[in-house]
């Protein structure tokens, strides 16, 4: 079952059900976005969830009374009324316990009662610890609910509130919003057809290296030419490959503000030349190379041994001679035909220009996959979202991803897994 793509183009009466998971803190943003988009939102929290977000917040945001129990309200028929009036019900986070209750038809509070009495579409957004999510009971509950027509949004793979890493994280509110609006997101893109188990089978023990961060090209001992890349996306990709069981090496340029996942082998390569050398050394023993680093195209022809001093007056100028850095990705593609390569291209301009630059770069670089990112565009609301168009070496579009970097990274890694498996077979 799917919501029609134009379902939310008219104002709707939406019930947002919140069950007791720590991720409940994200839902006020979703409620606000739905209201901003013109919908009337009624929040039904479970009693437990009020430990995470209180009644007053929901009442203030939705402008509607907030009740948790069936008999809390003067009108004791309220549960049926809410269910009858609702045009869409969204449950986020949906805990393992709530899923079990919905499956077995329990009606022990206002939320479960409303769900049981509802005839409108119901979207479930599960969020829980990976072990609970992967438990056969939860998986069976989800399967049964799916068969009964509930619409289920997959949880994200990422860091959990427990500090563990795995599948079960509540998607960002922007992604839930996009999911409801049927916009392309990481969760409903073509690559979702690759289940985690399959990607894990394909990548277990496979050696993957990822270049990440922005290179610094030294002018003198204290100054450099650099760029604004933080390396966050590269690190998310490293995490995703690790989750799928790959042996990951991060070849990082100046990764200072990012959390490197424990167990990741890191080679620090501050400059393009050092990164080039590290890649050339590691590529022969690797099966997959992801080139997420922002590599300076040029470096100073000479690095001064001492700090460069001002010598003249106001009109003094300084000219730096720059020479070209090696193209690490293109060199790897040429020298190591066994390697599956993934390049990135951040392009500016309108959608058509970006597509054109992307196609040209895909052909020029020859990587198996090129992820083209239109820089400066926002999707959904709130956080800046990443939009990636994935091209093959001929410049043909394979798929599109949108969402947070943490959400896209596992999708991209899963797609690389299928390309790897296909190349291995051929
Ligand atoms: N790249 C690389 N080595 C370089 C430059 C780029 O490995 N010296 C990789 C990047 O990591 C990225 C891809 O090539 O995966 C595209 O980077 P980009 O800077 O967009 O490409 P350029 O070839 O520098 O093209 P442009 O002329 O648009 O700057």
Query: 272 in ligand 1 pocket by Cβ < 6 Å?
Result: yes
Q: Tell me, what's the pLDDT at 78?
A: 65
Place of tokens 């977000």: 53
Query: 343 in ligand 1 pocket by Cβ < 6 Å?
Result: yes
| Site to substitute for ligand 1 among 345, 349, 389, 390, most atoms within 8 A of C-beta | 345
What's the CATH number for 196-300+319-425? 3.40.50.10300
CATH topology for the 7-192 domain = Rossmann fold (3.40.50)
CA of residue 69 relative to chain centroid, distance: 36
Query: Tokens for 83?
Result: 């269910």
Q: Tell me, what's the pLDDT at 127?
A: 95
Name, in order, each residue with C-beta under 8 angstroms of 225's C-beta and a sequence gap of 6 or more. 216, 217, 219, 296, 298, 299, 300, 322
pLDDT tens readout for residues 342-387: 999 988 888 788 888 998 999 999 999 999 987 764 443 334 568 8
pLDDT tens readout for residues 282-324: 999 999 999 999 999 999 999 999 999 998 888 999 999 999 9
Q: Are 272 and 217 contacting, i.e. CB atoms less than 8 angstroms apart?
A: yes
Cα 201 from Cα 89, distance rounded (Å): 36
Query: Is-catalytic flag, 141?
Result: no
Query: Tokens for 15?
Result: 């019930």
Query: 297 in ligand 1 pocket by Cβ < 6 Å?
Result: yes
Closest atom, ligand 1, to C-alpha of 293: 11
Burial 101-116 (b: 16+ CB within 10 A, else e): bbbeeebebbbbbbbe
Which ranges in the chain are annotated with CATH 3.40.50.1950?
7-192
Which ranges in the chain are annotated with CATH 3.40.50.10300?
196-300+319-425
Measured CA to CA in angstroms, residue 351 lies from 347, 354, 400 at distances of 10, 5, 13
Query: 327 in ligand 1 pocket by Cβ < 6 Å?
Result: yes
Q: What secondary structure does DSSP assign to 166-187, as a single string?
A: EEEEPPPHHHHHHHHTT---GG
pLDDT tens readout for residues 149-161: 899 998 987 777 7
Exposed (0-12), middle (13-18) or buried (19+): which is 132, by Cβ within 10 Å?
A: middle
Q: Which of 178, 227, 325, 373 is flagged as catalytic?
A: 227
Specify the pTM.
0.61
How many CA atoms within 13 Å lie on the side-chain side of 91? Answer: 28
């Amino acid at each position: 079952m799917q919501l029609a793509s134009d379902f939310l183009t008219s104002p709707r009466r939406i019930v947002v059900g919140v069950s007791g998971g720590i991720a409940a803190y994200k839902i006020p943003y979703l409620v606000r976005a739905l209201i901003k988009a013109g919908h009337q939102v009624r929040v039904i929290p479970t009693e437990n969830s009020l430990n995470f977000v209180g009644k007053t917040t929901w009442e203030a945001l939705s402008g509607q009374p907030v009740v948790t129990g069936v008999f809390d309200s003067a009108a004791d028929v309220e549960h049926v009324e809410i269910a009858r009036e609702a045009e869409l019900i969204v449950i986020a986070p949906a805990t393992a316990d709530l899923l079990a209750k919905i499956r077995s038809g329990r009606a022990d509070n206002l939320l479960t009662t409303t769900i049981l009495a509802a005839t409108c579409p119901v979207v479930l957004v599960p969020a829980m610890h990976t072990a609970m999510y992967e438990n056969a009971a939860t998986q069976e509950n989800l399967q049964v609910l799916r068969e009964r027509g509930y619409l289920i949004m997959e949880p994200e793979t990422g860091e959990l509130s427990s500090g563990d890493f795995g599948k079960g994280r509540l998607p960002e509110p922007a992604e839930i919003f996009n999911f409801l609006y049927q916009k392309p997101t990481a969760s409903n893109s073509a690559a979702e057809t690759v289940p985690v188990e399959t990607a894990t089978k394909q990548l277990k023990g496979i050696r993957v290296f990822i270049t990440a961060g922005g290179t610094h090209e030294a002018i003198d001992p204290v100054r450099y030419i650099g760029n604004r890349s933080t390396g966050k996306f590269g690190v998310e990709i490293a995490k995703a490959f690790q989750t799928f069981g790959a042996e990951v090496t991060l070849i990082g340029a100046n990764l200072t503000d990012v959390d490197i996942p424990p167990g990741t082998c890191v080679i620090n390569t501050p400059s393009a030349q050092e990164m080039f050398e590290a890649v050339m050394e590691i590529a022969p023993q690797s099966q997959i190379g992801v080139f997420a680093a922002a590599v300076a195209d040029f470096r100073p022809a000479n690095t001064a041994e001492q700090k460069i001093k001002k010598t003249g007056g106001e009109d003094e100028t300084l000219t730096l001679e720059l020479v070209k850095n090696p193209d690490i990705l293109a060199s790897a593609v040429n020298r190591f035909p066994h390697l599956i390569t993934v390049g990135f291209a951040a392009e500016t301009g309108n959608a058509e220009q970006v597509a054109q630059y992307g196609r040209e770069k895909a052909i020029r670089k020859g990587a198996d996959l090129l992820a083209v990112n239109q820089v400066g565009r926002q999707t959904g609301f709130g956080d800046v979202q990443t939009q990636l168009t994935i091209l093959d070496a001929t410049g043909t579009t394979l798929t599109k991803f949108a969402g947070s970097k943490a959400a896209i990274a596992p999708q991209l890694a899963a797609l690389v897994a299928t390309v790897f498996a296909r190349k291995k077979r051929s």
